[in-house]
């Protein structure tokens, strides 16, 4: 009798200890999927919040189209007539090359792979999209940005000298020929092409170095690991403009395009360095120019959409100083 009682108590003790272990493990690492998946077997990812959970949010589900892949492959590079016409109208150049021939040449220089389409209940891909706003100065966001699995930066964005506020890691650097900078071997170059010449420039910049001019001078060569170069899909570009911006501005900003890329390939997205600083200036964190936000983008519309994404708990926004 006594033995049986001892056995029962021991068993109970083991069960309680094991349960407590799982519970504290899950609290200690909230992204750990064990508990959450057990409680909600249909969750699409194992992060604390999955932005891919669409059921609760018709507005988001209405705008998001998962069937369009953000990055170009040989297969998805065939553009509809409407897309090609729109895309070609973005930036005019004198000589137009044959788009499909250029794409063929491109995939002899960079890999033709389908990337990041591996969403699963086991995956927790956290992403930081880092814009270039001066509101990063004094923000102390460096460690937080670096703690994300993917860190997207764009255009000239330096990190050296700004580590405390912007971090040190860059997994993806989004750019176009006129904003191109050299990268290290581990960083993915994400080229946003606004014209066929941009793809020709990329091929040249990674090989012969013959193209030095688009509508302005551009670097003849670029340091980047060509096995890690990817191209923003023009069809996705137009989808961002149509579905999300609903035609506002001439075309989306690099920041907004990067945010939409992240929305499609990440499970959790945090946004840094977007928007004006406290004094209302739209300037870069590394410059003292305090220029006003101008150009071909509808900054206000993009800002409002970004705020809606925050309100709907799809992204987290870190507003800086
Ligand atoms: O100025 P630049 O285009 O290089 O900045 C990259 C992106 O960062 C912009 O497209 C914009 O989305 C964002 N940005 C911002 N506020 C600033 C500067 C940049 O939101 N003051």
pLDDT above 90 (res 36):
no
Encode pLDDT of 154-201 as tens digits.
999 999 999 999 999 999 999 999 999 999 999 999 999 999 999 999
Position 283 scores a pLDDT of 85
Q: How far is the CA of 307 from the centre of ligand 1 (A)?
A: 15
- The residue with greater pLDDT, 94 or 108, is 108
Cβ of 155 closer than 6 Å to ligand 1, yes or no, is yes
Predicted confidence band of residue 298 (pLDDT cuts 50, 70, 90): confident
The pair of structure tokens assigned to 24 is 């504290």
Query: What rounded mean pLDDT belongs to the chain?
Result: 89
Instruction: Of 54-63, 186-195, 230-239, 291-300, give the lowest mean pLDDT range.
Output: 291-300
In the chain, domain spans: 2-30, 58-318
- The residue with greater pLDDT, 294 or 211, is 211
Residue with tokens 């000239």: 156
| H or E, element range at 153 | strand 150-154
Task: For residue 184, give every residue at least 6 positions away whose Cβ sits within 8 Å of its Cβ, in sequence order, or none.
Answer: 223
Q: Which residue owns the Cα nearest ligand 1 atom 7?
A: 255
Cβ of 253 closer than 6 Å to ligand 1, yes or no, is yes
Q: How far is the CA of 284 from the centre of ligand 1 (A)?
A: 7
Q: What percent of the chain has pLDDT over 70?
A: 84
Number of residues in the chain: 321
Q: How far is the CA of 117 from the centre of ligand 1 (A)?
A: 27
Predicted confidence band of residue 220 (pLDDT cuts 50, 70, 90): very high
Cβ of 190 closer than 6 Å to ligand 1, yes or no, is no
pLDDT above 50 (res 31):
no
Predicted confidence band of residue 133 (pLDDT cuts 50, 70, 90): very high
DSSP for 158-208 reads --TT-HHHH-S--SEEEE-GGG-----TTSEEEE--SSHHHHHHHHHHHTT
Q: Does domain 58-318 have CATH number 3.40.50.300?
A: no
What is d(CA 223, CA 175) in angstroms, rounded to the nearest whole number?
A: 13
Strand partners, 175: 191
- pTM attached to this predicted model: 0.88
The pair of structure tokens assigned to 282 is 């739209």
Q: Which residue owns the Cα nearest ligand 1 atom 17?
A: 133
End-to-end CA distance of the chain: 69
Q: Is the Cβ–Cβ distance between 239 and 73 less than 8 Å?
A: no
Predicted confidence band of residue 14 (pLDDT cuts 50, 70, 90): low
């Amino acid at each position: 009798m006594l033995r049986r009682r001892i056995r029962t108590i021991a068993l109970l003790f083991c069960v309680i200890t094991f349960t407590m272990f799982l519970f504290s493990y899950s609290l200690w690492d909230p992204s750990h999927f064990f508990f959450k998946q057990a409680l909600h077997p249909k969750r699409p990812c194992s992060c604390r919040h999955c932005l891919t959970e669409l059921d609760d949010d018709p507005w988001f589900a209405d705008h998001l189209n998962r069937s369009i892949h953000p990055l170009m492959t040989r297969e998805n590079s065939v553009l509809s007539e409407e897309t090609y016409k729109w895309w070609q109208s973005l930036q005019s150049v004198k000589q137009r090359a044959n788009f499909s021939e250029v794409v063929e040449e491109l995939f002899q220089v960079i890999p033709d792979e389908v990337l990041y389409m591996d969403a699963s209940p086991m995956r927790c891909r956290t992403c930081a999209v880092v814009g270039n706003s001066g509101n990063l100065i004094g923000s102390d966001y460096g460690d937080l940005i670096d703690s994300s699995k993917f860190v997207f930066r764009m255009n000239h964005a330096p990190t050296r000298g700004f580590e405390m506020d912007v971090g040190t890691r860059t997994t993806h650097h989004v750019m176009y020929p006129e904003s191109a900078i050299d990268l290290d071997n581990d960083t993915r170059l994400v080229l946003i092409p606004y014209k066929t010449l941009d793809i020709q420039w990329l091929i040249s910049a990674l090989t012969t170095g013959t193209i030095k001019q688009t509508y302005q001078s551009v670097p003849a060569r670029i340091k980047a690991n060509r096995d890690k170069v990817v191209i923003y899909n023009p069809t996705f570009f137009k989808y961002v403009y149509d579905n999300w911006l609903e035609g506002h501005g001439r075309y989306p900003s690099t920041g907004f395009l990067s945010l939409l890329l992240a929305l499609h390939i990440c499970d959790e997205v945090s946004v840094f360095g977007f928007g004006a600083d406290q004094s209302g200036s739209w300037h870069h964190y590394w410059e003292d120019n305090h220029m006003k936000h101008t150009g071909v983008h509808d900054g206000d519309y993009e800002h409002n959409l970004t705020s809606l994404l925050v309100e709907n708990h799809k992204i987290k926004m870190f507003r800086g100083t």
